[in-house]
Amino acid sequence: MTASAQSKGASLLVVDDNEDNLDMLSRRLRRRGYEVEAARSGIEALDAIDARRFDVILLDVMMPGVNGLEVLQKVRQRFSKTQLPVLMATARGDSEDVVEALQLGANDYVVKPLDLAELVAALEVALGHSTGAERSIP
């Protein structure tokens, strides 16, 4: 499965403190035509968001230090759900995290372990509703 023409080259910020998961996911998304920047912590994610624009963020909930929900809150202080969609990644059974993330402004969530086909479908939906995707088109 490849990314649609609409999302080809879309810029994603993928945030996960597990380096193996982050590297594998980044490689798989790049092979599908996405431009991927990886961040290994909430602080790295916030620095990356300050440095450049992204079309979508894929954000792990559970991270040491600044967690995904805190990053989401800071993102929503600056960007609407259409300006910068955020997909939260959560472990099975963490329904409280899912509810809180949606209440804080997450566009959607995906369940770990991540199914690549489901993730790509969720990314495509988020990109379809994103005004941010227009930013990356010359």
Beta bridge partners of 56: 12
pLDDT tens for each residue of 127-138: 998 876 454 433
Beta carbons of 87 and 109 less than 8 angstroms apart: yes
Alpha carbon 75 to chain centroid, angstroms: 11
Question: What is 11-136's CATH superfamily?
Answer: Response regulator (3.40.50.2300)
Q: What is the pTM of this model?
A: 0.89
DSSP H or E run through 135: none
pLDDT tens for each residue of 55-69: 999 999 999 999 999
* Nearest Cα to Cα of residue 75 among 44, 118, 105: 105
**pLDDT confidence tier of residue 93, bands split at 50, 70 and 90:** low
User: H helices within the chain, ranges in order?
Assistant: 19-31, 42-51, 68-78, 95-104, 116-128
Higher per-residue confidence, 98 vs 27: 27
Q: Domain residue spans in the chain?
A: 11-136
